[in-house]
């Protein structure tokens, strides 16, 4: 009789492309959420001459550096942060990624827009850069739970995980 699998085990196995000798697993990322802290990653893709592998599965929204005073870019008083938000829009356009930008009523906190816009679906492996670890507690859904579980597993030496270049 095979060992019983948890929901997490099943989702993990379903998304496993290959396992490396050092214990890391190459996982298929079904949906990728991107926020305005991503400029350096897009820069790294450019430096390496790489494209976003699946722009149709990638969704972007600015949430870190937006102003609470208004929905315009000019409402962000710090130039550096304004540029980060502007860069997200530029990169989304350049790579063909769906953007819920400033002024779009779907724009919001990156954790929230997933379920809100129906991007988050049960059984998917989803990634949001910088949020993939223990704090991954997006509002209740199977996939959010999976991310959260992945984060816990990722913190153990035997269960490191990493994502393909397509899913920065």
Partner 1 sequence: MDAGIRVVIAPSFGDIFFNNSFKNGFDLIGVDIVLPPERCAELRAALERTPGARLIVDLEAQTVTGPVGINDGGCSDHFDIDPFRKQLLLSGMDDISFTLNHKDSIAAFEARFAKELPWI
Give whole-number Cα distances, 59 to 50, 51, 77, 82, in Å.
Answer: 18, 15, 26, 20
Interacting residue with partner 1 among 7, 9, 10, 44 (CB under 8 A): 44
Report, in Å, the least distance between residue 54 CB and partner 1. Answer: 9
Round to whole Å and give the CA distance between 156 and 21: 16
Structure tokens at 149: 């579980």
Print burial letters for 124-157: b (CB count within 10 Å at least 16), e (below 16): bbbbbbebbeeebebeebebbbbbbbbbebbeee
Residue 66 or residue 125: which is nearer to partner 1 going by CB? 125
Instruction: Point out which residues pair with 34 in neighbouring strands.
Output: 60
8 A C-beta contact, residue 107 and residue 101: yes
Q: Judged by CB under 8 A, how many residues of this single chain contact partner 1?
A: 24
Interacting residue with partner 1 among 1, 3, 4, 18 (CB under 8 A): 18
Round to whole Å and give the CA distance between 47 and 29: 22
Interacting residue with partner 1 among 8, 26, 108, 109 (CB under 8 A): 26
Interacting residue with partner 1 among 7, 13, 75, 165 (CB under 8 A): 165
Binding range to partner 1, per CB under 8 A, among 44-52, 60-68, 86-94, 110-118: 44-52
Contact call for residue 135 and partner 1 (CB under 8 A):
no
Contact call for residue 13 and partner 1 (CB under 8 A):
no
**Phi-psi category of 156—alpha, beta or left, where left has phi over 0 and alpha has psi -120 to 50?**
beta
Helices 7-14 and 142-154: angle between axes, nearest 10 degrees? 90
142-161 footprint of partner 1 as x/- string (CB under 8 A):
-------------x-x--x-
Residue 61 or residue 120: which is nearer to partner 1 going by CB? 120
**Interface positions with partner 1 (CB under 8 A):** 17-18, 20-24, 26, 28, 30, 44, 47-48, 50, 121, 124, 133, 155, 157, 160, 162, 164-166
């Amino acid at each position: 009789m095979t060992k019983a699998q948890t929901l997490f085990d099943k989702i993990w196995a379903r998304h496993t492309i290959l396992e490396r000798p050092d214990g890391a697993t190459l996982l298929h990322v079904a949906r990728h959420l991107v926020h305005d802290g991503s400029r350096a990653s897009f820069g790294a893709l450019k430096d390496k001459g790489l494209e976003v592998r699946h722009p149709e599965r990638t969704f972007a929204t600015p949430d870190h550096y937006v102003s609470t005073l208004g929905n315009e870019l000019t409402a962000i008083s710090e130039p550096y942060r304004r540029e980060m938000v502007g860069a997200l829009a530029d990169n989304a356009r350049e790579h063909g990624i769906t953007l819920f930008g400033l002024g779009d009523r779907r724009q919001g906190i990156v954790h929230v827009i997933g379920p809100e816009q129906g991007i988050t679906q049960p059984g998917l492996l989803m990634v949001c850069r910088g949020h993939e670890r223990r704090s991954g507690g997006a509002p209740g859904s199977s996939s959010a739970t999976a991310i959260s579980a992945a984060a816990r597993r990722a913190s153990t030496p035997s269960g490191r995980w990493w994502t393909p270049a397509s899913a920065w």
